[in-house]
């Protein structure tokens, strides 16, 4: 297997915008009684801007994921999402985030099936021998249903927070149309889609079975996905969290179509698609568990087969309130949360140092910092939120940063020392706790 060996990208120098500096100054007083947590926050909150962000000559923004010199649609959104609340009063930050959105629309129009892209058409690829319809712009072409959703949701959140509509240009309109057309095709993957993906001489989770077409599915109204947010292949190709994400994003895209582009017909088309997917989730995506009652499945094929688990990445079942599909007090979500935070979830691990959700993407007994951050962000009680912050603080292996997965018995055994998405999620959690005044009531 010929795998590209991670070239380096010159990101150049980058000044941290003033609003981010003000947050760091606030943290100096809010977290003064917790010096290690303060140091972690000071490292992680600006990490995306300081180490992974490049302003392009065309005014767009390129954001690498960290230790891989490519831009994932999903990761790049999550790397900057904690900055969105600051953008209204900071023109420099608006320029950075708006530039990222414009670059994402450019990439979606290049290849809506791809998950990760190059800075330019340099023909760099994770695996040069992937059997799919590659482009020199594409780093990896795993179709992950969530990818475009992240870009669309960031655009909506940016608009709602700042009131600025400059990102909604002709490319954005075309990208919305492209996304909806793609999702309609993948509702009938076997009948309409030409997408295939094969990678030879690799772990089974890195390629699609059935000569790159994936396992058979029944029509449900939901949308087929080749891969999960972890970049691992789906077991059953209706990934429920990703379909929930599409429902949430279609609601937001309808508002953009109606109030920005004044395209009522397109909004109504999206409303119909939203209803079809939601009906599929309700009919095929809920599993009646003997112990927990009705819970959301992680995946299904529409033939009555289910994958019951949760993965650390977003979208996940844990992240349902975060992505905007349902509230944290939704009864089925509460049942599901009880299931995924138990040993009945095959990827929930407990050890001497930590307990939490891991992933098939990493070895057994590895808990992910992303999952701990998401558990804190979706917690309904302050106690659980602070418990997650405490756990994140003591599992950084004294590196000053978050990682991907770490061994539940030994946080010094970890994967990916430079994973900007994880740093940003941790920073978002701590920042939200600061905003709620939780550290003023902190007994530490």
Q: Does residue 305 form part of some domain? A: yes
H and E: helices and strands count for the chain: 16, 15
Same domain? For 209 and 89 the reply is yes
What is the C-alpha end-to-end distance of the chain, expressed in Å?
51
Same domain, 205 and 103: yes
Q: Average pLDDT, whole number, for the chain?
A: 95
Mark whether 263 and 381 lie in a shared domain: no
| Domain end call among 315, 341, 367 | 341
Name every residue whose Cβ is closer than 8 Å to that of residue 157 and which is 6 or more positions away in sequence.
Answer: 81, 84
Decide if pLDDT at 19 tops 50: yes
Would the pLDDT of 442 be above 80?
Answer: no
Residue 273 domain flag = yes
How large is the average pLDDT for residues 193-216?
A: 97
Q: Residue 56 and residue 176: Cα distance in Å, rounded?
A: 23
Residues 328 and 353 in one domain: no
Residue 398 has what pLDDT?
96
Under DSSP, the state recorded for 156 is H
Q: 12 lies in a domain?
A: no
Give pLDDT, residue 67. 86
Q: Residue 33: give the domain boundaries.
A: 17-51+347-435
How many domains, the chain? 2
- Each residue's pLDDT tens digit, 363-393: 999 999 999 999 999 999 999 999 999 999 9
3-state secondary structure of 236: coil
Greater confidence, 219 or 442?
219
Given 283, 315, 341, the domain boundary residue is: 341
pLDDT in tens, 160-198: 999 999 999 999 999 999 999 999 999 999 999 999 999
Last residue in a domain, options 289, 310, 341 = 341
Residue 59 within any structural domain of the chain = no
Give the pLDDT of residue 13.
Answer: 57
Shared domain for 336 and 354, answered yes or no, is no
Regarding whether 282 and 237 lie in a shared domain, the answer is yes
Q: Residue 239 and residue 41: Cα distance in Å, rounded? A: 33
Convert the pLDDT of each residue in 389-428 to its tens digit: 999 999 999 999 999 999 999 999 999 999 999 999 999 9
pLDDT at residue 323, rounded to an integer: 98
Q: Residue 197 belongs to a domain with what CATH number?
A: 1.50.10.10
Tens digit of pLDDT for each residue in 286-309?
999 999 999 999 999 999 999 999
The reply to whether 32 and 99 lie within a common domain is no
Mark whether 315 and 367 lie in a shared domain: no
- Tell me, yes or no, whether 140 lies in a domain: yes
- Both 135 and 203 in a single domain? yes
- For residues 39 and 109, membership in a common domain is answered with no
DSSP H or E stretch at residue 376: helix 369-377
């Amino acid at each position: 297997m010929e795998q590209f060996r991670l070239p380096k990208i010159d990101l150049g120098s980058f000044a941290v915008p003033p609003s981010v500096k003000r947050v760091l100054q606030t943290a100096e007083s809010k977290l003064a009684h917790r010096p290690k947590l303060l140091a972690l926050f000071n490292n992680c909150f600006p990490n995306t801007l300081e180490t992974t962000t490049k302003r392009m000559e065309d005014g767009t923004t390129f954001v690498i994921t960290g230790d891989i010199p490519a831009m994932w649609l999903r990761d790049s959104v999550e790397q900057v999402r904690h900055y969105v609340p600051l953008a209204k009063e900071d023109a420099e930050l608006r320029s950075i985030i708006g530039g990222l959105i414009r670059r994402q629309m450019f990439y979606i129009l290049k290849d809506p099936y791809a998950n990760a892209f190059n800075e330019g058409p340099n023909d760099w690829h994770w695996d040069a021998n992937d059997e799919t319809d590659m482009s020199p712009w594409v780093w990896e072409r795993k179709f992950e249903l969530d990818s475009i959703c992240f870009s669309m949701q960031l655009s909506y959140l940016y608009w709602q927070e700042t009131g600025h509509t400059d990102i909604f240009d002709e490319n954005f309109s075309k990208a919305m149309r492209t996304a909806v057309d793609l999702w309609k095709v993948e509702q009938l993957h076997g009948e309409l889609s030409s997408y295939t993906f094969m990678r030879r001489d690799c772990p089974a989770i890195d390629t699609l079975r059935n000569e790159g077409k994936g396992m058979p599915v029944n029509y449900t109204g939901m949308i087929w996905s080749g891969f999960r947010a972890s970049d691992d292949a789906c077991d059953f190709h209706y990934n429920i969290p990703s379909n929930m994400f599409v429902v949430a994003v279609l609601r937001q895209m309808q508002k953009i179509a109606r109030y920005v582009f004044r395209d009522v017909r397109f909004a109504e088309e999206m409303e119909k698609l939203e209803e079809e997917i939601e009906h599929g989730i309700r009919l095929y995506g809920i599993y009646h568990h003997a112990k927990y009652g009705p819970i959301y499945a992680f995946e299904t094929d529409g033939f009555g087969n289910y994958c019951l688990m949760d993965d650390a990445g977003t979208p996940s079942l844990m992240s349902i309130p975060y992505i905007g599909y349902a509230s944290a007090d939704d009864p089925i979500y509460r049942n599901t949360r009880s299931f995924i935070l138990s040993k009945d979830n095959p990827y929930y691990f407990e050890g001497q140092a930590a307990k939490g959700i891991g992933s098939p993407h990493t070895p057994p007994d590895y808990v992910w910092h992303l999952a701990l951050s998401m558990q804190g962000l979706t917690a309904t009680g302050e106690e659980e939120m602070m418990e997650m912050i405490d756990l994140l603080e003591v599992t950084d292996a004294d590196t000053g940063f978050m990682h991907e997965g770490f061994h539940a018995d030994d946080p010094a055994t970890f994967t990916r020392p430079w994973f900007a998405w994880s740093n940003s999620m941790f920073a978002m959690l701590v920042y939200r706790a600061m905003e709620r005044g939780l550290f003023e009531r902190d007994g530490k």
